[in-house]
Amino acid sequence: MATGVDQAVGMSLVVFSLLLFTYYSVWVIILPFVDSDHVLHKYFLPREYSVILPGIAAVILLLCIGAFTAVIMWKNRKPKKVD
């Protein structure tokens, strides 16, 4: 069973993910249909970043997965037998 700290951390991750998803959805889906002089635009970055930031995040994620795989393969390699 999860402890109280584990549940609090899990709940905070869920809340953070929901806030991030909501922010990005409004930024990408709704904001292009709002007038450019509306006050809502000052809370968001320019639209170019809506493609650049997830791209950078994807590259970093793939690099971390590759590094993790390389470390695991390096640690589990068998030494060559010398005859």
Average pLDDT, rounded, for the chain: 92
What local confidence, expressed as pLDDT, does residue 6 receive? 92
Residue 17 inside a domain? The answer is yes
pLDDT tops 90 at residue 79: no
* Domain limits for position 40: 4-76
Residue 82 inside a domain? The answer is no
In sequence order, the 6+-apart residues with CB closer than 8 A to the CB of 24 are 50
Residue 83 inside a domain? The answer is no
Residue 9 inside a domain? The answer is yes
Residue 81 inside a domain? The answer is no
- Round to whole Å and give the CA distance between 56 and 53: 5
Identify the helix (H) or strand (E) that includes residue 50. helix 49-75
pLDDT tops 80 at residue 12: yes
Number of domains in the chain: 1
* C-beta separation of 44 from 53 below 8 A: no
Instruction: Assign 28 a pLDDT band (cuts: 50, 70, 90).
Output: very high
Mean pLDDT computed over 20-37: 92
Sole residue written with tokens 């889906």: 29
pLDDT tops 90 at residue 2: no
